[in-house]
Amino acid sequence: MNELSIIIPCLFSTDMLPQFIDKLAVYLMSNPSDTDLIVVANENAISTHSIIEYVRGKYPWLRFEMIQRVGKARSYGALCRFGIAYSTSRYFVLVSPYGEDDMSTIPQMLNKIRKGAQVVQATRYSSTDDARQVPLKFHIYQYIYRSLVRLLLGLGISDSTYGFKMVDRVFIQALGLTQNGYGICPEITLKALLAGAKVEYISSTFKTSPMHKDFKLYKEGIGYLWLLIRGFAHRIGILWF
């Protein structure tokens, strides 16, 4: 069993993967650990064979797998769940290949999770300087969602909706993940907290990404609200979240 899987969901083009993996390889060489990379793409992703040949030719030491989800284009959560199910590592970290995640914080995440955290969540709001980089509409979304989480679930969270997080794989799979959209991001954090898990936070700088353009509140909001309803029902003992 590896210690860590870096799971990379590709919703859009895979053209940036060689440069992204170049950066990731530099990080891995300077921060050696028992790590593998799992790239998860939709079936219609192009250039997958050339990417595999590129990585295995340039980085023969890198444990690398590129898997594709069969069928119509899948959303973010579906790709994440597929990668998590494929992994056999003790921990996994979700990393976007589109440049918004600060990979230099992965060692801090790994240090916290080794000390007993089940989830280490990157947050864009703990630092005033980082928070200033977040567009106003995301500030509003987060404020409303954090308020609802506090009201319905009794939990104070810093940033549950950011996908950049490290997780104890066996623990979260035992709880079960159901969301196919971006709702998988708060699902992981909220389920962990409601199960009494130790959740740690680390500060992370906000960067723009194509994923932010793909986010549509009218589509994703239903999943986000459903999580709050299920979480509230769990809290008052009606059903298991």
Tell me, what amino acid is at 4? Answer: L
**Residue 239 has what pLDDT?**
76
Cβ atoms 116, 200 nearer than 8 A: no
In this prediction, residue 185 carries a pLDDT of 93
Kindly state whether residue 241 falls inside one of the protein's structural domains: no
In a domain, 97, yes or no: yes
Confidence of residue 226 (pLDDT cuts 50, 70, 90): very high
- List the single range of 20-29, 45-54, 78-87, 185-194 with lowest mean pLDDT: 45-54
Per-position DSSP letters for 76-105, written without gaps between them:
HHHHHHHHHHH--SSEEEE--TTS-S-GGG
Which range among 13-27, 149-163, 179-193 has the greatest average pLDDT?
179-193
Q: Residue 69 — very low, low, confident or very high, per pLDDT cuts 50/70/90?
A: confident
What are the pLDDT digits (tens) for 169-210?
Answer: 999 999 999 999 999 999 999 999 999 999 999 988 767 665
Answer whether residue 240 is part of any domain: no
Taking 70 as the threshold, does the pLDDT of residue 73 lie above it?
no
Residue 159's pLDDT is what?
A: 83
Rounded average pLDDT over 64-76: 81
C-alpha 50/C-alpha 55 separation (Å) is 9
pLDDT at 240: 77
Give residue 68's pLDDT: 84
Question: What does the pLDDT look like over 39-62, one tens digit per residue?
Answer: 998 877 666 778 888 888 999 988
Residue 195 belongs to domain with CATH number: 3.90.550.10
Task: Tell me if 37 is assigned to some domain.
Answer: yes
Say yes or no to pLDDT of 232 above 90: yes
Strand partners, 6: 37, 93
**What is the number of domains present in the chain?**
1
Please compute the mean of the pLDDT values over residues 9-35 and round it to a whole number.
83
Range of the domain at 29: 4-235
| Helical packing angle, 17-30 and 48-58, nearest 10° | 30
For residues 198 and 171, is the Cβ–Cβ distance under 8 A? no
Residue 214 pLDDT grade (very low, low, confident, very high; cuts 50, 70, 90): low
Q: CA geometry: angle at 143 spanning 141 and 144, to 5°?
A: 65
pLDDT in tens, 92-148: 999 999 888 988 899 999 999 999 999 999 988 766 666 666 767 777 888 888 899
pLDDT mean across residues, the chain: 86
Query: For residues 24 and 115, which has the higher predicted lDDT (pLDDT)?
Result: 115
3-state DSSP call for residue 39? Answer: strand
Going by C-alpha positions, the residue among 208, 173, 207 that lies closest to residue 187 is 173
